[in-house]
Structures are given as C-alpha cells and as structure tokens.
Chain A
C-alpha cells in the first residue's frame, strides 16, 4: 500500500465513525482523537474499519504512537499490506 492509499483508508475509516467530519479540515499532524472528539469505542471501531479494509489488525500496543493521521498513514504504509 502506498501513502495515498493508506491515507484514503485512514480517512474513510474515520468518516465511517464520525460522518460529520469534513476531511479537509483535519490537520494531519494533530491528535486526531482529541480533535474529532473520538473516544475509545470510536477508536476501536476505526481500528476495526481499518482491519476490514486492509486486513491489518493493529495491535493495541501500537495505539499510543498512532495519534495523528500522518502517524496512522505512515504505519500502514510501512506494514505494506
């Protein structure tokens, strides 16, 4: 998966849980969970959505370093699904 594909997956997953978000307004470097008011249930649902779209099931131990869209995108790109 390249950067663009990974970014699309991440944004789609977020939109599926927070459809009231306008993607262009999200700063890709900020803490997206806080910015979009997403709680742990939302986070889990987003991880499930990412898993469904890519087959990558992100382990919980990696969650703390996946706070921004950039970080999520880079992570998925590196996993190379």
Chain B
C-alpha cells in the first residue's frame, strides 16, 4: 500500500490554479479508476476531475472554496499498487505545466501520471487549513479565514470580523460571506452561485469569470503565436454529394437522431488524421510525439463569450451516429458547465467552425502543444464547374493551420485532399 498525493491537475496549457467547488469523496470512501472525485473551477469552466487509481481516501487536504496552484496536493489516497500501465491520459497527450518565465521551455510530462509518488512526502504535512490568524503573508491580528474568503471579502468590501465563520475553529470561508448584491450569506457546502447561473444562463461565468476566461484564452493564443511557426493551407470541398446523402439519411430518422453535416466533417477529419499522423499529436520538449488515437478537440463557443475545446475520444473509431451523439453530449455539458478533466486535456488536434452564418474561411490559431487546427467555414451555394458545365454546388472551405516544426505544406495538402475525398463518399464515413 502506498499513499498517493492526489494533486490539482493541469486542465489546460494555460491553467495556473483552480478552486475546488465540491468534493465527491470523503475520508474512508473507496475510489476506483475513472471516478469523478471533485469539481474544480478554472478560468474557463467548472471541470469534473477524475482519479486514475483504485484506493481508499485517507484525507482531504484542500477544502471547498480554496484556490490552489496546479500540482498542489488536494487529497491523500491509499492505493493498492502502482497505477496501471494504460491510463486514459497517456503522457504524450498531457499539456506541459504552465511555464512561467519568458523563454522557459515546457517541461516534459513524467512517464506516469504526476499524481503518483511511491514514498511519503519528505516534509511534514501542512496544517490542513492554513487559516489560522497570521498564517497568510503580511497578516498580523487578522481573523481566521480562508485565502479565498479573504480575497472575496476584499473585493466586496466586507468586514471579515463581522461574518460568522463555519470553517474549522470558526474560520470564515467563502460560503460564509454575503455574495455581492445579496444581504444573506449562502449556506451550502459547495461554492454555489445559483443566482448567477439563473441570471446568466447555464454555462456562463460570473462577470469576472468571463474576464478571466478571456485572459486565459488570450495568453494561450499569444503564446501559440509566439512559439508555434504556423503555416496555413485552404481547400474548397464540394459537399453536394455528402449533403444530398445526409438529407436522405435524416429523412428516415426521428428528429433526435438526426445527424448534422458537422458530424460528417468531423468523421472525415478523424479518418484523414489517422492516415496523416504528423498532424495528430503534440510538440513537447523539442520534438513531435504522435498520438496513438485521434482525440478530436471540438471548439465550442459559450453563450456570453469564451471558447472551450473538449475532446471526442477515439473519433476515428466511432460511427457517424456515435460521433453525433458524442458531439451533442459535449455541447450540452460544455454549456451547462460539466466537462471532465480527461476531455479538457486529451485533445490531439482541434477543429473549429464558426457556424453556418459565419464566414467563408476560418484561419485558426493552434492550441499548444497540439500541432494542427482545422477550420471549417460556412456551407454556401456557389457556382462550380461539374462535368465541363457550370452548376450550383454547396461548398465549404476547410483550412489547416499547422506547426511547421512537425510538418510541411506538402503533407498538409495531402491531409486536406484526403478529407475532401472522404467527403465524396459519405456512406463510407
């Protein structure tokens, strides 16, 4: 038996820290590989985090409401053995921890999930709460409160001494504070903002949350443009055959089983990537690591702003119906804010589309450490030459933004041509 430090995972190349908003486990509980054990709030979304070991919970170190850096121990779990060799998060697909100083290179991920250590921590365990008066930097005679509660109290102009604390030893927690704009504190065990969700709609962030997401996306995109030598290719794909076929396919199905053209395009993308591995994987530590399967990141916009790109796993193996169901499910859970960590970190490539009323051509920015991003423009009727005569055809422009360290234009062109050819035989997708 060994003690596992279950740490705050990195849920994206741009993530520094997260806040636990609820725990699904308590000391004494048994856990199994793949169980969701907590919900973490990041700048981008609330993410369900999973554990990849079997074991028993010893204790919870970081409580609800506390913001901690990636890598901080969240809980201690007694595990039976070394983690199994095949984890759902192969090392190659895990984004590097956030490199802070300019010019630092991303750390290579360890060969095992980073939550495992076979020896006990060398230093004595931290006090569980760390909220005793004076424990925070610069504190003198302050009341006991969690770091999150202190920050929120500052922001809202609340006097902590006047708030009744429900934490250990009467410490004030985030949940004890009257939320901004309300006269009564919430009393739930999780950092719950039902009033904000009701006002803003599911999946939307509070005002400062939207700003934080914007900042996180901006930093990631800036880093991508600074570090990744992008090249861009585009091709016009005739979709007439595929859309005709799809219309026939959908006409016989109930409305909730209908397949969107997007699902056909995603399947074609996944199959093409399986045949062109230099576009499916990650640039880590100066080299390209191809991924064994296509975990297709799908860029989904949030109502009210912001984008997340969770993965449809093993997309090349799914039928078109399964891919459509997976896509529907991802969109629903993205908008309601219930994505899983494995979906946030496992993408091997990303596809973005601005929709049917978007623009003709989408030139994207790669999400590091991926090496490619496919852009799907809107489907439009355009004049084209078919069999020597002008005809009206529905077309879409598909673009590839690719990392020139991992591939060349010649190969990129072949990828796009493969996608185009696959879309001429929709029944085989």
- Interface residues of A, Cβ cutoff 8 Å to B: 18-20, 33-34, 37, 39-41, 44-45, 47-48, 51, 57-61
Chain A residue contacts of B204, Cβ below 8 A: 20
Contacts of A33 in B (CB 8 A): 357
The reply to whether A47 and B357 form a contact with Cβ atoms under 8 Å apart is no
Contact between chains at A37 and B327 (CB < 8 Å): no
Residue on A with the closest CB to B354? Answer: A39
Q: Is residue B385 contacting chain A, with contact meaning CB distance below 8 A?
A: no
B256 at the interface (CB under 8 A from A): yes
Q: Which of B33-41, B169-177, B246-254 contacts A (4 or more CB under 8 A)?
A: B246-254
Partner of A37, one of B250, B255, B261, B303: B303
- A44→B303 contact, CB < 8 A: no
Residues B200 and A48 in contact, CB atoms below 8 Å apart = no
Residue of A with least CB distance to B335: A17
* In contact, A47 and B202 (Cβ under 8 angstroms): no
Q: A39-B356, A40-B260 are in contact. Are A19 and B255 (CB under 8 A)?
A: no
Chain A's nearest CB lies how many Å from the CB of B232?
A: 24
Interface of B with A (CB < 8 Å)?
Answer: 200-202, 204, 247, 250-251, 254-256, 258, 260-262, 303-304, 327-328, 331, 355-357
Query: Which residues of A have CB within 8 Å of B260?
Result: 40-41, 44
Neighbouring B residues of A44 by C-beta, 8 Å: 255, 258, 260
Q: Shortest beta-carbon distance, A80 to chain B, in Å?
A: 19
Considering the complex, give the chain B residue whose CB is closest to the CB of A17. Answer: B335
Contacts A40-B262, A41-B262; is A59 near B251 (CB within 8 Å)? yes
Q: Chain B residues near A60: list those with CB within 8 A.
A: 247, 250-251, 258
Residues in B whose Cβ lies below 8 Å from that of A57: 254-255
A61: chain B residues within 8 A (beta carbon): 247, 251
Cβ contact within 8 Å between B327 and A41: yes
Query: Residue of A at shortest CB range from B358?
Result: A39
CA distance A44 to B258 in the complex (A): 8
- Let me know if A41 and B331 touch, CB within 8 A: yes
21 contacts between A and B (CB under 8 A): A18-B303, A19-B201, A20-B200, A20-B304, A33-B357, A34-B357, A37-B303, A40-B260, A40-B261, A40-B262, A40-B356, A41-B331, A47-B255, A48-B255, A51-B255, A57-B255, A58-B255, A60-B250, A60-B251, A60-B258, A61-B251
Write out the residue numbers on chain B whose beta carbons fall within 8 Å of the beta carbon of A48.
255-256
Q: Which residue of B lies closest to A36 (CB)?
A: B303
- Contacting residues, chain B, for A58 (C-beta < 8 A): 255
Most buried by B among A19, A37, A57, A58: A19
B residues less than 8 Å from A19 (CB atoms) = 201-202
Across the two chains, which residue of chain A brings its CB closest to B261? A40
Which residue of chain A has its CB nearest to the CB of B330?
A41
B247: chain A residues at CB < 8 Å are 60-61
A20 touches B256 (CB 8 A): no
